[in-house]
Amino acid sequence: MSAIKLTIDGRPVEVEPGTTILEAARKLGIDIPTFCHDPELAPNGACRICVVEVERARALVASCCAPVAPDMVVHTESERVVKARKAILRLILANHPLDCITCEKTGQCKLQDYCYRYGISESDFEGEVKELPLDDTNPFYIRDMNKCILCGRCVGRCQEINGAGAIDFIGRGFSTIVGPAFGDPIEESSCVFCGMCVDVCPVGALIPKAGVGKGRPWEVEKVKTICPYCGTGCSIYLHVKDGRIIGASPDFEGPVNRGHLCSKGRFGWDFVHSEERLTRPLIKKDGVFVEASWDEALDLVAEKVRDLLNRYGPDSLMGLSSAKTSNEDNYLFQKLMRSLGTNNVDHCARL
């Protein structure tokens, strides 16, 4: 099928048929706001913040759902569009808690960003603020449904990608929330704590517990690592502040995981800072471990290894390498054993 030509904000663009207006605009580097849009989920058109004006169309259209058409002329920031977006933001703000000063999401909250962009500081609507209790009985993340804007991305990720189906829209109208059936705490649901909902929530409704009060997004350095658990090889950013890991997030461009994770990769990194980490070499003397310097410890190992080599030959040694350490570590480990004259080297791959 031939490409479709259209004009967005006065600029021509050519895209494949079936492309949405939102995607076409992004191709031009035009930033249309979105809350509910998720590139991996079927569009649900819930929030309408992405509306644009299409010439000759009567109503504004949601750009994340609407496909392009030949010779379409689109305006993404026209007066009508801006007015509609402001109204949506005011409506949301009318019943949104305004505790941005202490909210963990500050700095990466879409609601904040768009209010700033469109100059909304307060709402003219006399809204009712919800007063729902926090769901924080699980050790992984806090659910604050007072801040939820009902975009549905968490529900989509949980049902369509994870398959756990732990949460859904419940209730109606103003009292609608997302959560487990019967308003149970998430810990009692089928949630497997993959955190994929947390990573796409545009506002501060889903907050990982580990990082609370530990640092602001702009103070954090994100370092790309590979998950140390299963053999899938998900790529994960560790969030570091002052030499400590305070959080993690999936690599949305990860060649394997595309932004997806499971509970171990998403929340299981804190063993790195465990109090139980070994920090000094230890030598066993009379049955108890005594701290030693590296020189003492390595000299002793070398002496013992040489002694065994002399007395029994190289095949009296066995080396167990590791399915957890890097390729470089494994390469050197087998090189060491083999250089000592034995092929007695293995690891626990079978287990």
Partner 1 sequence: MTNSIGEIPGAGAILIIGSNTSETHPVISYRVREAVQNGAALIVADPRVTEMAKLADYHLRLRPGTDVALLNGLMHIIIAEDLLDVDFIEKRTEGFEKLKEKVAEYTPERVSEITGVAVSDLRAAARAYAAAESAAILYTMGITQHTTGTDNVLSVANLAMLTGNMGKPSAGVNPLRGQNNVQGACDMGALPNVYTGYQKVGDPQVQEKFSKAWGVPLSDKPGLTVTKSMDAIFDGRIKGMLIMGENPILSEANANHAGEALERLEFLVVQDIFMTETAAYADVVLPAASYAEQLGSYTNTERRVQLSCPAVPPPGEARADWEILTDLAKRLGLDWSYSGSEAIFNEMASLTPSYAGMSYSRLADEKSLQWPCPDSKHPGTPYLHVGKFSRGLGQFTPVDYKPPAELPDGEYPFVLSTGRHIFHYHTGTMTRRSVPLEQHRPEEFVEIHPEDAAKLGLAEGDPAQISSRRGEVVARVTLTERVKPGHVFMTFHYHEAAANLLTNDALCPVAATPEFKVCAVNVRKAG
Of residues 97-156, which lie at the interface with ligand SF4 (CB under 6 A)? Answer: 148-154
Binding at 269: pick from ligand SF4, ligand FES, partner 1, none (beta carbon under 5-8 Å per type): partner 1
Is position 290 an interface residue for partner 1 (rule: CB under 8 A)? no
146 part of the interface to partner 1, by CB under 8 A = no
Residue 140 touches partner 1, criterion: CB under 8 A: yes
Rounded distance, CA 203 to CA 206, Å?
8
Minimum distance from residue 39 beta carbon to ligand SF4 (Å): 15
Q: Confirm or reject binding of residue 203 to ligand SF4 (CB under 6 A).
A: yes
Tell me which residues in 231-270 interact with ligand SF4 (CB under 6 A). 232-234, 257, 261-262, 264-265
The yes or no reply on residue 137 touching partner 1 (CB under 8 A) is no
C-alpha 106/C-alpha 117 separation (Å) is 15
Size of the site for partner 1 (CB under 8 A): 109
Answer for which of 84, 85, 227, 247 binds partner 1 (CB under 8 A) is 227
Residue 271 burial (C-beta neighbours within 10 Å; 0-12, 13-18, 19+): exposed
Q: Is residue 171 a contact point for partner 1 (CB under 8 A)? A: no
Query: In Å, how far from its chain's centre is CA 182?
Result: 27
Report what 249 binds from ligand FES, partner 1, ligand SF4, none; CB cut-off 5-8 Å by kind: none
DSSP 211-233: TTTT--GGGPEEEEEE-SSSTT-
- What gap in Å lies between CA 187 and CA 311, rounded to an integer? 59
Please identify which residue in 118, 229, 252, 333 interacts with ligand SF4, judged by CB under 6 A. 229
Residue number, 196 or 337, with CB nearest to ligand SF4: 196
The phi-psi region of residue 233 (left if phi > 0; otherwise alpha if psi is between -120 and 50; otherwise beta) is left
Asked if residue 89 binds ligand SF4 (CB under 6 A), the reply is no
Among 253, 286, 288, 310, binds partner 1 (CB under 8 A): 253
Q: Quick check: helix, strand or coil at residue 117?
A: helix
Burial class (CB in 10 A: 0-12, 13-18, 19+), 56: exposed
Out of ligand SF4, ligand FES, partner 1, none, which partner does residue 310 contact, by CB within 5 to 8 A per kind?
none
CB nearer to partner 1: pick between 107 and 228? 228
Burial class of residue 53, CB neighbours in 10 A (0-12, 13-18, 19+): buried
